[in-house]
């Protein structure tokens, strides 16, 4: 992901999530040197992206997103494959992520891929009506 990708990333982010990352979140991640990747279709149109932070021997997958209308077509799995490849190249041992329990589609993708639940973070995500939603913490061993 490059600065030039941010307009497209922000459009997808705002369309997919009720509480999207801000431009500042993405800029902070880019300036911090986090691993990023963008997925494009044959015409060069942005399909998805992810950002991950390396910490000692494991990766924290901070954001992985596929454009609305393209869910269920294997793009999420392609991104998980790429994240695992990059993590292995950096000699990491596992990938961690958080997912909303209400995001059943993503949860199913992660479980099919081999991620296992290792915990729960209470009140992690902002939710509707000024409430909070837990996060399921998942781990994938490389």
Binding residues: 103
6-48-128 Cα angle (round to 5): 80
Q: Which residue out of 17, 58, 75, 98 is catalytically annotated?
A: 98
Q: Which residue out of 34, 49, 110, 115 is catalytically annotated?
A: 110
> CA-to-CA distance for 16 and 124, rounded, in angstroms?
18
Question: Is 98 a known active-site residue?
Answer: yes
**Residue list, annotated binding site for acetyl-CoA:** 103
Question: Is 58 a known active-site residue?
Answer: no
Half-sphere exposure for 104 (CA within 13 Å, toward CB): 0
Q: Which of 94, 11, 88, 4 is nearest to 48 (CA)?
A: 11
Q: Which two tokens stand for residue 26?
A: 């993405």
Residue 64 contacts residue 79 (beta carbons within 8 Å): yes
Active site residues: 98, 110
């Amino acid at each position: 992901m490059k600065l030039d990708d941010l307009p497209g990333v922000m459009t997808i982010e705002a369309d997919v999530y009720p509480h999207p990352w801000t431009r500042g979140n993405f800029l902070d991640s880019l300036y911090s040197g986090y691993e990023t990747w963008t997925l494009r279709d044959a015409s060069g149109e942005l399909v998805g992206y992810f950002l991950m932070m390396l910490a000692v021997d494991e990766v924290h997958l901070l954001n992985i997103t596929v454009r609305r209308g393209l869910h269920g077509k294997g793009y999420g799995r392609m991104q998980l494959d790429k994240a695992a490849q990059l993590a292995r190249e950096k000699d990491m041992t596992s990938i961690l992520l958080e997912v909303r329990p209400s995001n059943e589609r993503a949860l199913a993708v992660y479980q099919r891929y081999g991620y296992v639940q290792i915990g729960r973070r209470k009140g992690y995500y902002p939710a509707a009506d000024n409430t909070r939603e837990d996060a399921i913490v998942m781990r994938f061993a490389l």
